[in-house]
A and B are shown apart, each in its own frame.
Chain A
Amino acid sequence: MRLFISLSSVLLVSAAYAQNLPRLPDGQPDIQGMYSRNGLVGLESNAPENPIDPSDKNPLSVSSRGDGLGPYPKIFNEGGSRIRPQGRQAHRTGIVDPADKKLPWKPEEDERRRQFLLKMNPPSDLRHVELNARCTLPGPFQGEDGNNPYQFLQPSGEVVMLYDYNHTSRVIHLDGRPHLPKDIRLFMGDSIGHWDGNTLVVDTTNFNGRVAYSREIPYLSDQLHTVERFTVTDANTIEYEVTIDDPGLFTKPWKTAGYFARSPKDTQSLEFACAEGSQTLVNIFGNPPEVTR
């Protein structure tokens, strides 16, 4: 009952706000600014035992030690801080379809990724070091949401999504152009969008098969096709849902959800030189040969 009242309140607030959305000269609702993204990547039911570090919801995580002496103190995940929501809001987060969070894996692909995970600790080779630790671009899902904010810019006819994480970006074209030819493959994909009222709908294809969803799903295939819905519900909140259609791994599409919350005004994107600032490969494999310069 309480949930129903909360959701009703959100809908009322959303409807009122949608009628008065501030708009840019090209007609787009103005969503520009810095945001944190929250709640997007959730554990599937029947998640595999992950030998690296699963999410905090997984009891196998070394971060969830009962003695409170886990390796990551609370200082992690506070770079994406957000301003307090206006009133009480309910958000849909994590895997929302199917409702039981049991993903529609092709059995042979589920087994293949489970075997892949077993080779990640210790990593049997570079391919089995997680993609983010190798400083690859994060794809749609692995922007280190707790630590790194996102910035939306809206030049005429486009929405540009700047990732603080690894300084990458997505340019979402709103002019109805077709997707890139199939032989062009990208970490961040090729995004075409349009506004449907107060919802930005984004269709993305041309992924390169080197994009992870989570630590338990360490890769998606190059057949990945996403449809994202960014729904502006008030001046500080964008509800987010993405349909993940990957016929290379799954028998049908599934959906996950989260929300963007506006960050405090002093939030800045900081320099992110991933390969220089990361010592992960050295800490796993040891020092590379000396370089003379």
Chain B
Amino acid sequence: MKYFAAVWFLLAASAPLAAHHAFAAEFDVDQPVKVHGTVTKLDWVNPHAWIYVDVKGPDGKVVNWHFELGPPNALFRLGWRKDSIPAGLEVDITGFRAKNGGEVGNGRSIILPDGKELFSGGSGPGSRGAEKQ
């Protein structure tokens, strides 16, 4: 555990941010979004994993949103596995909306029913993700 904590610290301290595509050409930093919904599927695909959630609006209509995540290798390195976020789980997701104005976003964090926040700066050394390794 100490070994992985040390590695994680090195990464957190030194890793530059990069992604398969530039953020600003695709997503709008001025349109932060937060949705509460039920996970319908998690696609573990390169270059980005995608999480899909059914979100019920104030009018009762259900809309399927999807959010871009990191690539599968990144999720895997933090200890996540294919069944980590099963369909049917209720989650809150924060992110930034796509420029096409659809129900699509860049996912920043996922908050599980027990309050644990995934994929954010809070998933640091000692978090469940790191310990799984």
Q: Could you tell me which A residues sit within 8 Å of B by CB distance?
A: 38, 51-53, 55-57, 61-63, 65, 68-84, 120-123, 129-130, 132-133, 144-149, 164-166, 215, 267, 270-274, 276-280, 282-286
Known: A81-B7, A84-B10. A63 touches B17 (CB 8 A): yes
Query: Would you call B11 and A77 a contact (CB within 8 A)?
Result: yes
Binary interface profile of B, 66-77, with partner A (CB < 8 Å = 1, else 0)? 001111111111
Query: Would you call A68 and B121 a contact (CB within 8 A)?
Result: yes
Contact count band on B = 35 or more
* Bound-state Cα–Cα, A280 to B74, Å: 19
Q: Which residues of B contact A69 (CB under 8 A)?
A: 32, 108
A232 CB, min distance to chain B CBs, angstroms: 22
Interchain pairs with CB closer than 8 A, number = 190
Query: Would you call B17 and A284 a contact (CB within 8 A)?
Result: no
Which of the listed residues B15, B72, B96 has the most CB atoms from chain A within 10 Å of its own CB?
A: B15
B120 at the interface (CB under 8 A from A): yes
Q: Label chain B's interface by main secondary structure.
A: mixed
Q: Which residues of A contact B118 (CB under 8 A)?
A: 75
Q: Which residues of A contact B20 (CB under 8 A)?
A: 132-133, 144, 147, 274, 278, 280
Known: A277-B46, A278-B47, A283-B104. A75 touches B69 (CB 8 A): yes
Query: Would you call B78 and A283 a contact (CB within 8 A)?
Result: no
User: What are 27 A-B pairs with beta-carbon distances under 8 A?
Assistant: A38-B14, A51-B24, A56-B17, A68-B121, A69-B108, A71-B23, A74-B15, A75-B118, A76-B74, A78-B11, A78-B70, A79-B70, A120-B25, A129-B25, A133-B22, A144-B71, A146-B18, A148-B73, A164-B73, A273-B46, A274-B46, A277-B43, A278-B20, A279-B50, A283-B104, A284-B98, A285-B100
